[in-house]
Amino acid sequence: MRISLRGLTKRFGAALAVDGLSLDVRPGELVSLVGGSGCGKTTTLRMIAGFERPDAGQILFDDRVVNGVPPRRRNVGIVFQSYALFPTMTVADNIAFGLRVAHWPEPKLRARVAEMVALTHLGGLEGRYANQLSGGQQQRVALARALARRPEVLLLDEPLSALDAKIRLRLRGELRRIQQDLGITAVYVTHDQEEALSIADRIAVMRAGRIEQIGGPEEIYARPQTEFVADFVGISNLLACRVVSAANGVVDWEGERLRVPLAPGADGAVIVSIRPEKLSVGTDAAADRNRLQGVLEVVTFLGPFVRLEVTVHGRPFWVDVPTERATALERRKPLTLAFVPADCVVLPEGAPAVP
Amino acid sequence: MAPPPWCYCTNVTSSTRTAGGVLVLLVTFVLWPVLKVLWLSVAGAAGLTLANYEAFFSSSRLARILVNSLAVATVSTALTVLIALVLAYAVTRTTIPGKRFVSLMALLPLISPPFLVSLAFILLFGRNGLVTHGLGLDWSIYGFTGIVVAQIFTFLPPAYILLANVLGNMDAALEEAAENLGAGPLTTLRRVTLSLARPGLASAALIVFILCMTDFGNPILIGGRYNVPATEIYSQVIGMNDFASASTMSVILIVPCLLAYVLNTYWVGSRSYVTVTAGARAAVRPTPPALRWPLTVVAAGFALFTAVIYALIPLGSLVRLWGSDWSLSLKHYTFASTAEGPWPIWNSVKLAVLAGLIGTVLALLTAYVIERKRPPGARVLESLGLLPAALPGTVIGVGYILAFNVPPLLLTGTVWILVTSVVFWKFPVAVLAAINALKQIDPAVEEAAVSLGAGSVRTFVRVVLPLLTGTAFSIFVYFFINGMVTVSAVIFLIFPGFNLGSVAILNQVENGYPGVACALGTLILVIVIGAVLLLRALVGGDRVAILKV
Ligand SMILES: Nc1ncnc2c1ncn2[C@@H]1O[C@H](COP(=O)(O)OP(=O)(O)OP(=O)(O)O)[C@@H](O)[C@H]1O
Ligand SMILES: [Mg+2]
């Protein structure tokens, strides 16, 4: 089923939680809403589920406007951040709840519960209560319960945020597999951009109740369109520059001339974004590189690579280099950073990013 | 977790001495009176005998009294818990208007003498009642109905607080999850909300049951000829000086109360559901009008009626002769009908302040010993400290007479028997509050003080006590209020020249001066509310809480 949001707006008192948001989620697609705390992700999700009524705009399931449809008639599965498992019921009864409410005949109901238990690898835990389960198991019960009624839409609100990093990795793969196997349309809220990049077909980066940019993971990562997106998704070195020559693609940063891919006619102030892994250390001879002289301050070991903090003109730069290349580096020593112009992304100067 | 070594090496003597002192106090003022009552009920001329119990159960009158109280307590409990549930649900899980007012009215009885409600109902539905007399009805509220109605309003607060806590802490996502899975409002209410509240409901029912069983003030005022054990014990002691029968009845009354207490502590207590988890939301979505308006009417109706009941007390104190002469006057405040004048009120204040000071110190000390020092036998201390929660005030009264009218502890006829009875009868709530407050304080804070060289006493006084000031004030207020309003235990223990305000109210009603009773009730209410407000103004409002039962 396709979900279309058209100019959705929601106010709480004077506060604008969602501000004219439009979004299309294609059938079978998983779209992730990411953004900082309070940017309206949960509110958007709750409007799709029917828990909040939009003040303006429309919600369509396929071509049907569902604004006035109460939550229990929307046939939307939802996984809550707190899981909201019924503590008075066993795992099996939790999963069967929606089926009982819909008066499924007992044999059919039991078969469906068994199917969900198998799908979410909960075998043997059917008789347990929520407080006898690990966090990861609770999360899977919540998913099984949401999917039992064969909803056409699955909504997930930070479903993994309460779990350890390791389990989070495993479960997000599992979530993705189940979503793709069932071909269910899904909206996945998270504030973890890395999670969004890894799980979603498309990512909608939200800010202050609006979608700042939407696109596939590679697109969002490699071609952010605003300073906020560049800063929020992954790590970027953002340089506030001034255009010197649009024709030659030259900008000025702190007195340094840098060559970057400028649009014809660019003028005034721009932001140049460069990812840490696109910066290299050393003095190889290639002539087309930009070069900056800096001082190495901190080296952080991150497994396959190390992250360097290099100060250039008083401003810290993040630089990722393979671990084996970092052994020769010494703290407090000057070094040269180099990068290819084509690896830079030039962004219009925008409002400063909200934390 | 094992206590850190310094517990043993540096403070053995002082902490064992404190624990020993607390133990002696609890044995003397909790266990000893109860044992005296138990002993007297089985002591015969020639050793142990069950003759008193045989006499009790072979007397159809006495057996009926027991059945009476069971019937009253059952009906009162059921209705109280039902109303508390509706109000708690309306306040915590819906968006009705006027929640604060409803909550305030539900809690008002916490700070008033327990039988003022009866007095108000007598003003409304008694023989000269506003309604009964006004409509010329040949009916009055005295008896079963009166007791039940009065008990509902009197014992609502503990049930309300408990259920409001349970429902208020519920993750709103639970109800939303049910709705999302297709459940209608009724299914959600029944299978999710109420199902979660079940342990809370059981607990509330057991607590209210004990309170109703042991209630003395309401039955004696509005019970008419409908006797219950608490009032029967009183007439046996005061009317016939028959301590053996009173003791027997006391033991029989203790049994169901203790049973309810044990059930609540050990069975229901282990069953409550902790539902608040990371990411849980408390916010409630707008309630649909079909539910919102009926609930508003019920909740507001209840709150307004409570307000009327409490307004009747000052009103009754200003009306010249209730039922016949409605002109206003201040003559009841001259207390001409009583030889004591308003002095019982000041005796109550004296008792309340003494009980407040002594009770607060003892409760904090006991909690500290139990929770932090954990001497061998800490469980015994705790059980003794909490035991009075299951004891009827009348039993405390009888037990204190039996235990303290002979040397070495001859306390009868002094203010100290009143003070100790209030302190130790009301000990459980105070100790629990102090223990809970201590649990909030990271033991590492004390360990840090000790590691920096502070001794045990200095640690308690300089580090722990300052963190407990809010709790200490709350406990003081709790004892103070109870000193002002309690009646069932102290009515046995007052002595000539030292009547109490709460007892004087009873005397005045019995002697046919409801106006004077209302004047006394008004003064007590004013003093209690004034003291609470004053203390809040002095030490900061949110630090002084009204402790729940
Ligand atoms: N029931 C409510 N009443 C009042 N304000 C609300 C309510 N729900 C949300 N808001 C406000 O609306 C804004 C958006 O909230 P929302 O929960 O959608 O943010 P979010 O993106 O999910 O944030 P987070 O990552 O912290 O969960 C916030 O400013 C929040 O304070
Ligand atoms: Mg959220």
Q: How far apart are CA A296 and CA A52, in angstroms?
A: 51
Taking the mean position of all CA atoms in its chain, how far away is CA A262? 28
Tokens of B168: 């208020």
Q: Which helix (H) or strand (E) holds A292?
A: strand A290-301
Residue B2 has pLDDT above 50, yes or no: no
Residue B267 is predicted with a pLDDT of 79
Reported as a pLDDT band with limits 50, 70 and 90, residue B13 is low
Using CB atoms within 10 A of its CB, is residue B374 exposed (0-12), middle (13-18) or buried (19+)? Answer: middle
Q: Any idea of the CA torsion for A110, A116, A121, A123, to the nearest 10 degrees?
A: -10
| Measured CA distances, A118 to A136, A153, A155, B463 (Å) | 15, 21, 21, 56
Residue B548 is predicted with a pLDDT of 58
Residue B134 is predicted with a pLDDT of 80
- Cβ neighbors of B56 (< 8 A, separation 6 or more) are B62, B63, B245, B248, B249, B252
Beta pairing class for A345-348 and A269-274: antiparallel
Q: What is the pLDDT of residues B213-253, one digit of tens each?
A: 999 999 999 998 898 999 999 999 988 888 999 999 999 99
Q: Is A17's C-beta closer than 6 angstroms to any atom of ligand 1? A: yes
pTM: 0.86
The CATH superfamily label for domain B5-47+336-539 reads MetI-like (1.10.3720.10)
**Closest Cα of chain B to A102: distance in Å?**
7
Residue A351 is predicted with a pLDDT of 56
CA of A157 to the centre of ligand 2 (A): 7
Reported as a pLDDT band with limits 50, 70 and 90, residue A353 is very low
- The DSSP secondary-structure symbol of B490 reads G
Q: Is A207's C-beta closer than 6 angstroms to any atom of ligand 1? A: no
Residue B371 is predicted with a pLDDT of 86
Residue A354 has pLDDT above 50, yes or no: no
Domain range list for chain B: 5-47+336-539, 70-224+258-274+283-329
| Chain A positions with Cβ closer than 8 Å to B | 49, 51-52, 70-73, 76-78, 80-84, 86-88, 97-98, 101-102, 131, 145-146, 149, 158, 161-162
Of A252, A83, A227, A49, the C-alpha closest to A154 is A49
| Measured CA distances, B124 to A179, B302, B308, B530 (Å) | 67, 16, 10, 27
Reported as a pLDDT band with limits 50, 70 and 90, residue B273 is low
CA of A15 to the centre of ligand 1 (A): 9
Residue A323 is predicted with a pLDDT of 84
Reported as a pLDDT band with limits 50, 70 and 90, residue A198 is very high
What is the gyration radius of the CA atoms in chain B, in angstroms? 24
Reported as a pLDDT band with limits 50, 70 and 90, residue B7 is very low
Query: What's the rounded mean pLDDT across residues B261-280?
Result: 69
Q: How far apart are CA A255 and CA A242, in angstroms?
A: 10
Q: Is A10's C-beta closer than 6 angstroms to any atom of ligand 1? A: no
Q: What is the pLDDT of residues A76-129, one digit of tens each?
A: 999 998 899 999 899 999 999 999 999 999 999 999 999 999 999 999 999 999
Reported as a pLDDT band with limits 50, 70 and 90, residue B274 is low
Q: What fold is seen in the domain B70-224+258-274+283-329? A: MetI-like fold (1.10.3720)
Query: What's the rounded mean pLDDT across residues A35-46?
Result: 93
Q: Provide ipTM, 2 decimals.
A: 0.84
Residue B460 has pLDDT above 90, yes or no: no
More confidently predicted of A273 and B445: A273
Residue A256 bridge partners (DSSP): A253
| Poorest-pLDDT segment among A283-287, B19-23, B501-505 | A283-287
Q: Do A161 and B279 touch (CB under 8 A)?
A: yes
Q: What is the pLDDT of residues B318-327, one digit of tens each?
A: 988 887 888 8
Query: What's the rounded mean pLDDT across residues B330-345?
Result: 84
Q: Any idea of the CA torsion for B78, B79, B83, B86, to the nearest 10 degrees?
A: 50
Residue A161 is predicted with a pLDDT of 87
Residue B84 is predicted with a pLDDT of 96
Which chain A residues touch B275 with a CB distance below 8 Å?
87
- Ligand 1: residue of A11, A21, A37, A42 to mutate (most ligand atoms within 8 A of CB) is A42
Q: Which helix (H) or strand (E) holds B34?
A: helix B32-42
Q: Is A86's C-beta closer than 6 angstroms to any atom of ligand 1? A: no
Which chain A residues touch B278 with a CB distance below 8 Å?
81-82, 161-162
Query: What's the rounded mean pLDDT across residues B301-307?
Result: 94
Q: Is A14's C-beta closer than 6 angstroms to any atom of ligand 1? A: no
A57 in helix, strand or coil? Answer: strand
Tell me whether domains B5-47+336-539 and B70-224+258-274+283-329 share a fold.
yes
| Poorest-pLDDT segment among B6-10, B172-176, B498-502 | B6-10
Residue B47 has pLDDT above 50, yes or no: yes
Q: What is the pLDDT of residues A290-338, one digit of tens each?
A: 889 899 999 888 888 899 999 999 899 999 998 887 777 888 888 889 9
Yes or no: say if B217 and B113 are a contact pair by the CB < 8 Å rule: yes
Cβ-count burial B3-33 (b if 16+ within 10 Å, e if not): eeeebeeebeeebeebbeebbebbeebbebb
Mean residue pLDDT of chain B comes to 87
Q: How far apart are CA B179 and CA A71, in angstroms?
A: 6
Tokens of A5: 């949001």
Tell me the count of A-B CB pairs closer than 8 A.
Answer: 86
- State phi, psi for B67 to the nearest 5 degrees: -60, -45
Residue B5 has pLDDT above 70, yes or no: no
- Cβ neighbors of A111 (< 8 A, separation 6 or more) are none
Reported as a pLDDT band with limits 50, 70 and 90, residue A60 is very high
Which chain B residues touch A82 with a CB distance below 8 Å?
171, 173, 277-281
Q: Which of A70, A84, A101 sits opposite B187 (nearest CB)?
A: A101
Q: What is the pLDDT of residues A120-170, one digit of tens each?
A: 999 999 999 988 999 999 999 999 999 999 999 999 999 998 888 888 999
Residue A281 is predicted with a pLDDT of 86
* Residue ID of nearest Cα to ligand 1 atom 22: A42
Q: Domains of chain A, with CATH numbers?
A: 3-227 (3.40.50.300), 235-348 (2.40.50.100)
| Poorest-pLDDT segment among A273-282, B406-415, B458-467, B523-532 | B458-467
Residue B500: how many CA atoms within 13 Å on its side-chain side? Answer: 26
